[in-house]
Chain A
């Protein structure tokens, strides 16, 4: 109970490090969501529109990649952005860029899979009409994305929720560096490991509030989509 009160006072009292951590988390999550949506939505839409051999296998692959644990994604990305890796010269490891890249890699298959599944619920006549009127693949892609904007809003929100709540990638690629790459989840992991639950709790509240907000917006998107 005491730590609960202290947790609340950290938030209400405007503790600088706590709020900095929250802002950093939100910023990282926003950017990683952007970088997950930019390739993820077109891939999902392309899978939806495409008529090619191996489509089932491609969809299965995207779904399988989605289930890979975050630390595995982290390890994989680490091997690329380590100074001794192929992208080492970009200096992304243990920097915000690394967290964003890793989280985007994490959320990208989720966005693709959700877009693909969601677009399937759209009216199939829409895509056929575009095709019969002679729209090329790029125009159809653009039109289907516009038509499926509710689906894509949902996928985007889900991606945001996923990256804001994950700890493996942020820890491995960001290094949990104070005033630099420390996020809500890595702070919680660190503080809980030290037995200091007050700030971990207060950040837990914020994560919970964020998750509720994301769900609420997603609900709005579905309702408006009807």
Chain B
């Protein structure tokens, strides 16, 4: 047991329609670390990210968050958020989206307002706050989704292809946002096809093939 471990995965195997969709003998993600999942489409990266966030199940083996199994672990929901490849924003404005996430975490009105303004400032989305969430570009949507998670207190982010399918301007904005988060000590686990993003952002790479996490320079995965 590693006191610094945020995630600890052991002997994991998840079956979907009788096929192994993801498996991982062992994986450890330390606090403040940035880990990239790399591999071809359908190799289990997305499934692995969702499993780590408790969005899929049941599975064999174990996944722990902050030293406790993720099932019914309140810390997991308090501190970690999974962001889809094409994130979902709710109907209403960007401000509504952030406010809703803050309400879910039961922040009082004053603190929620402060956190909302702070996140908007920090991630450069203040000018988007009163825009309809459904009318944003891909890059803007991604940034709002991450801002929504961070504003509500998440410091462990599970990101699925955070820079896919967006124009170069959006791509750059998302990259600088993620780099900023990394600098400020957030833990990032993300999947990516883009090698430059991996080079730029990852401390460590875990390779996936045929549903299995197979190798990582950090040595933890078999």
Contact = CB atoms under 8 A, between A and B. Distances in A.
Q: How large is the interface on A (under 10, 10 to 19, 20 to 34, 35 or more residues)?
A: 10 to 19
Interface stretch (A29-37, A123-131, A192-200): A123-131
Given A133-B152, A134-B152, A123 B88 contact: yes
Interface string B146-183: 00110010000000000000000000000000000000
Contacts of A126: 88
Interface in B95-131: 100-101, 104-105
Given A132-B149, A133-B100, A135-B104, 11 more contacts: A51-B57, A51-B58, A125-B86, A126-B88, A128-B82, A129-B87, A131-B55, A133-B149, A133-B152, A134-B78, A139-B104
Interface in B167-210: none
B54 to A, nearest CB: 8
A129 B82 CA distance: 8
Main SS of the interface on chain A? helix
B81 interface: yes
A122 to B, nearest CB: 11
A126 B89 CA distance: 9
Contacts of A128: 50, 55, 82, 84, 88
B104 A132 contact: no
Given A123-B88, A125-B84, A126-B88, A132 B53 contact: yes
Contact of B81 (A123, A132, A139): A132
Q: How large is the interface on B (under 10, 10 to 19, 20 to 34, 35 or more residues)?
A: 20 to 34
B77 interface: yes
Nearest to B105: A134
Contacts of B53: 132
Contact of B101 (A51, A125, A131, A133): A133
Q: Kindly list the 5 A-B residue pairs having the minimum CB-CB distance in the complex, ordered from nearest.
A: A134-B77, A129-B88, A132-B82, A125-B88, A134-B104
Interface string A124-150: 011011011111000100000000000
Contacts of B58: 51
Most buried by B among A51, A125, A134: A134
A149 B87 CA distance: 21
A133 B50 contact: no
B55 A133 contact: no
A140 B77 CA distance: 14
